[in-house]
Copies of this chain bind each other. A is one copy, B any other.
């Protein structure tokens, strides 16, 4: 079996994370998202010194709570340091074997590996509906959350990759989860993956 990693980028509210979980389950391979990558980074010990150094800025136990609070004592960008740590964790996970990684610019981080880069998008009305339901927020709050989250993703992606988030040239396949449905979207990704590793 040829090694292949599935990276999933997604619009907020498109069901991309859930689709990623389904794909991993269908293929019997591990699933990693932001929370898991952060946890691994924290447990790895490689960030201990970094946490100590920036701990004056925020009381949270998570190093990722330090994002966007400015610069560390050494004058280096905290975001850059966090990106470097995540990059290291993502590469190590990918080297272990086939897996599904949602978000974290994994498509770019793993650009020298054999990856199937997926982008999940959805119709605005359904993204709003899903966000209202999963986050328990009003329509207006959901719209704001979608807009701001995707804007932040877009800015971060551009900054770290030099590429445009959501631009088709960066992905192998882009799927509309509203028109296809989340279950079928996951089926399609799993089938493309199987075809690819034949």
Contacts and interface: CB of A to CB of B under 8 A. Distances in A.
Can you tell how many copies of this chain the complex includes? 2
B180 A192 contact: yes
Interface in A163-185: 166, 168-169, 171-176, 179-180, 184
Contact of A173 (B123, B166, B169, B174): B174
A191 interface: yes
A188 interface: yes
A195 interface: yes
Contacts of A195: 184, 187-188
A121 interface: yes
A187 B184 CA distance: 16
B172 A176 contact: yes
Contacts of A196: 180, 184
Contacts of A169: 121, 123, 176
Nearest to A121: B168
Given A172-B175, A172-B179, 18 more contacts: A121-B168, A123-B169, A166-B168, A168-B168, A168-B174, A168-B176, A169-B176, A171-B174, A171-B176, A172-B176, A173-B175, A174-B174, A180-B196, A184-B195, A184-B196, A187-B195, A188-B192, A188-B195
